[in-house]
């Protein structure tokens, strides 16, 4: 009986330690991380365990680099995307490093997704392929919301996206990112979705 109690005790410790580690890890990022704003387009899907959320498609989900350089990086290679701000104050990925940066904490640990390309329509109606850089995995794509508010929030955010007025505020610290809020039409998406009630 004793060994069972000891093992059960160890199991409880493990079962509590895993969620606690997750909490501690994300609280650190929220407390010490720098705030970045990413332009986004939200969509509203459902997760059976975690509930309804607004799925955020980050507009600039690539690191600018030449086609040859992007091709040289294998698909799903782990690396670090360095962050910078554009003239409007929005975050943009500026560089890719295979080693963890030591000079700054403003970088995202991620994986490469091959070439990021855009299909642009020309004046004669044809479409042309424009290389943008190296596509990367974005780890902050879910913003969980009240099940009643999420669909409305998605609709409001979509309208705001048309006016380039929707972004996600993310705290980033040592490669890890945690969403703080999603802003549409100048206010929190949660507040915006509540107003219409």
Contacting positions for other proteins (CB under 8 A)? 4-5, 7-8, 11-12, 14-16, 18-19, 22-23, 26, 47-53, 76, 138-147, 149, 178-179, 190
Q: How far is CA 137 from the centre of its chain?
A: 8
Which of 64, 151 has the CB closer to other proteins? 151
Instruction: For residues 123 and 145, give the distance between their C-alpha atoms in angstroms, rounded to a whole number.
Output: 42
Which of 37, 64 has the CB closer to other proteins? 37
> Contact, 179 vs 143, CB < 8 A?
yes
Per DSSP, 48 falls in state T
Which of 23, 122 has the CB closer to other proteins? 23
Task: State the nearest-atom distance from the C-beta of 184 to other proteins, in Å.
Answer: 16
Q: Computed over its alpha carbons, how large is the radius of gyration of the chain?
A: 20
Task: State the nearest-atom distance from the C-beta of 71 to other proteins, in Å.
Answer: 15
Per DSSP, 53 falls in state E
Side-chain-side CA neighbours of 29 within 13 Å: the count stands at 22
Task: State the nearest-atom distance from the C-beta of 20 to other proteins, in Å.
Answer: 9
Task: State the nearest-atom distance from the C-beta of 168 to other proteins, in Å.
Answer: 9
Residue written as tokens 């509930």?
Answer: 51
Q: What share of the chain is helix, strand, coil (3-state, %, to 5)?
A: 30, 45, 25
Which of 22, 72 has the CB closer to other proteins? 22
Which of 26, 131 has the CB closer to other proteins? 26
Task: State the nearest-atom distance from the C-beta of 37 to other proteins, in Å.
Answer: 15
């Amino acid at each position: 009986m004793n060994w069972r109690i000891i093992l059960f005790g160890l199991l409880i410790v493990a079962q509590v330690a895993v969620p606690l580690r997750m909490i501690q890890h994300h609280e650190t990022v929220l407390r010490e991380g720098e705030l970045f704003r990413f332009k986004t387009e939200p969509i509203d899907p459902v997760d059976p365990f975690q509930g309804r959320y607004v799925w955020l498609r980050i507009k600039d989900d690539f690191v600018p680099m030449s086609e040859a350089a992007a091709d040289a990086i294998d698909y799903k290679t782990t690396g670090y995307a360095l962050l910078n701000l554009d003239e409007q104050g929005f975050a943009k990925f500026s560089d890719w490093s295979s080693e963890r940066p030591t000079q700054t904490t403003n970088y995202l640990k991620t994986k490469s997704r091959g070439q990021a390309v855009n299909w642009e329509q020309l004046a004669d109606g044809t479409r042309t392929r424009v290389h943008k850089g190296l596509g990367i995995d974005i780890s902050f794509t879910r913003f969980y919301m009240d099940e009643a508010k999420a669909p409305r929030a998605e609709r409001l955010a979509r309208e705001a996206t048309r006016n380039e007025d929707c972004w996600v505020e993310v705290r980033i610290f040592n490669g890890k990112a945690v969403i703080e809020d999603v802003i549409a039409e100048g206010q929190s998406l949660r507040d915006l979705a509540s107003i219409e009630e």
